A and B are shown apart, each in its own frame.
Chain A
């Protein structure tokens, strides 16, 4: 069986009294489905765990719902209703700088007013990467290809009085005569309605029913439209001086993509103000044709960042219609929930989180669901990885049903671990689409293995509310102030500045944090201000990364911050949680051995009832509690000097390799059997004002919890820390010489 239903929500969490909207598509066209509310206590059926635990809870949306198929229009573009300024066009000139990135047989439309009924014009990159102009059913194309990843001025003009049309491509960088400037002229009909109905589409063509097709892959910088046919030299000037007096009588539009950078608007400088609406969030803050290399930050030189990079596989929002809504009742406990949708195939679970009533916490502890990480890995496609993927895993890749489902649906998009079809990195992630691996029993361990923490809380009868990364981002410290303890998931890798600052302030003011994961607090991301659920990432400069941001494009468009590793902006994770990423390896996991520092009386509560020197030589992820991605204490990277490393992992294989950021030059000493940095450090330290942090520094710690019916040393240690951390008794910040080892 495979699934036939897919869905997503407008928001990832809701408090009692708040309403969440569900958007559903029946992929097989079936007429109806059944919906029910389930609370997810455990989301994995591993035979050594408690099994999938979903508790059905009566809700207002129980029962049969009519189904329909809802399309996904993947691909980014810009569009505007040009009104009379465009619909009245006869003669025109169009000019822009472009940097095409993907050669295809199918046309890639740069700019179109085509209406499908013979009106309008289009400038496109056609088969063989040749520039083409279409007007009134006639085409004109250049003979020689445009080079990919090279800037060129592309332009066309049409004189309605004479029917003369011209098409030009002038490379900005002439490769020893290989790509000289090209022009071609043609005689088209006279008085053609080149503006058609006035609807402009940039980077795609619109079918008469509004469906976008023939998306362009690459950058566009400084597009200009004039209501007069101009010679090439004037068109060159039009790019850099669109508001010059010589164009004033004829300027229709001159877009400046460096304006209003974080928004979904592209600003028109002309008096017509034909601001475009951007669809599916193409990449902004992209360096333009005139980038000098003298600036790295678009904010300091916006005039060199006038490009937008469009992709045929950009996706920020499926924009599906709502099928049903759910207002969270007052008495519904905070937790991880799903709308379970059942039709012909496997059930679909549309996951969301229920919070406590605002300002009325239901517990002293709160679980922070790593929803930013879930977005980053959303719709990760195992089958689209490179041939190095298995090397990276250290074992055969494992696929599940959702991988087969995704494989036949390119329109669902990929993850922030993927590259676009043109080879550039996917820098914008979204949950405004079905995230088919944020579901029970998938291989997205960031979500699936957080379920071990949910089920452990239930098995231990420990109370905790649930919040999400987005809640923390939007509400900041005030949200955490309701609680004395924050518990993370197994992989809180992606963190916004607002999230970091809130956690940091929480700790400084006496809060407690249990970081039950590995490779956390690693990448800096930005959430979009206007579109909740969309997130930007620049894989800049350093770190183990599946793609690299272009030079000069390390600053994020959404908020202007320098993207990439937190370590590269002076905030290594060690400074927040005591440990930071050191190594990754996905073959087998290992165990911790208690250190001499674990005998420190300050750490006694951690090991209460734990007699073992070896901790976690078992578990449901690779057979050990220290594995996959692990973190180390490092004073040089900001680990608190008084922190106690109470246990350290050992015996990792050669597959467990240090991160690139710790390998200044290539060398052979990178694996777990030789490199001294390859170990997870279980770390504890007190913070000022009575707070404390406990970090396990390993992704697979959480998968150790359910071993042996939750009766094991990993579970016991976690419980000991939980119970002490919800105890209001302040931790005492040690005097400088009190550390015993």
Chain B
């Protein structure tokens, strides 16, 4: 990464407010990193109720191998799930949690 991104709390706040929608160029850049992480271990959502409920899953990156399904991580709101995954990725990428006030 030639031009580093710092863990600016404003970016996390912006994403929490609007997980899907217009984003600042700085947040777009961070999301491009998060969304292009290697497939192995990458998070996605498995719909468990067609009336809109999902659980968190992780890809393993290899054809035909099962997903890791986190049955205890249930979401009934898509944006909440996006925020939960964002926090996991923030922690992994920056080595620190998103600011507590946002958590």
Contacts and interface: CB of A to CB of B under 8 A. Distances in A.
B29 to A, nearest CB: 11
Given A390-B35, A404-B67, A653-B21, A399 B50 contact: no
Interface of B is mostly: loop
Interface in B12-70: 19-23, 28, 32, 35-39, 42-47, 50-52, 54, 57, 59, 63-67
A612 B56 CA distance: 40
B85 interface: yes
B38 to A, nearest CB: 5
Interface string B61-96: 001111100000000001001100100000000000
A597 to B, nearest CB: 28
B20 A398 contact: no
Contacts of A389: 39
Interface string A690-723: 0000000000000000000000000000000000
Given A395-B82, A398-B44, A654-B28, A46 B50 contact: yes
Contact of B38 (A47, A387, A395, A396): A387
Nearest to A45: B50
Given A45-B51, A396-B82, A388 B28 contact: no
Contacts of B38: 387
Contacts of A653: 21-23
A588 B23 CA distance: 12
A641 interface: no
Contacts of B82: 395-396
Contact of A396 (B21, B50, B81): B81
A382 B52 contact: no
Contact of B39 (A387, A401, A403): A387
A408 B47 CA distance: 18
Interface string A653-667: 110000000000000
B73 to A, nearest CB: 12
B74 to A, nearest CB: 14
Contacts of B28: 654
Contacts of A270: none
A546 interface: no
A57 interface: no
Contacts of A148: none
A673 B21 CA distance: 11
B84 to A, nearest CB: 10
Contacts of A673: 22
B36 A396 contact: no
A588 B21 contact: yes
Nearest to A389: B39
A394 B20 contact: yes
Contacts of A45: 50-51
A394 B32 CA distance: 9
A410 B64 contact: yes
Interface in A358-399: 382-391, 394-399
Contacts of B50: 44-46, 52, 441
B44 A399 contact: yes
A396 B45 contact: yes
Contacts of B54: 398
A396 B44 contact: yes
B52 A587 contact: no
Interface in A561-604: 587-588
B100 to A, nearest CB: 24
B20 A400 contact: no
A407 interface: yes
A384 B65 CA distance: 10
A398 B45 contact: yes
B90 to A, nearest CB: 15
B67 to A, nearest CB: 7
Contacts of A382: 44
A396 B64 CA distance: 20
B46 A400 contact: yes
Given A383-B67, A384-B63, A47 B23 contact: no
Contacts of A394: 20, 35
A653 B23 CA distance: 8
A391 B81 contact: no
A410 B20 contact: no
A47 B51 contact: yes
Choose among A383, A385, A388, A403 the residue with the greatest number of B CB atoms under 10 Å from its CB: A383
Nearest to B46: A399
A387 B44 contact: no
6 contacts: A383-B63, A391-B36, A394-B20, A395-B20, A399-B44, A653-B23
Closest 7 CB pairs of A and B: A45-B50, A390-B35, A397-B44, A391-B35, A387-B39, A587-B20, A47-B51
Interface of B: 19-23, 28, 32, 35-39, 42-47, 50-52, 54, 57, 59, 63-67, 78, 81-82, 85
Interface of A: 44-47, 52, 382-391, 394-401, 403-404, 407-408, 410, 421, 441, 587-588, 653-654, 673
Given A407-B66, A654-B22, 4 more contacts: A399-B44, A399-B57, A653-B23, A673-B22
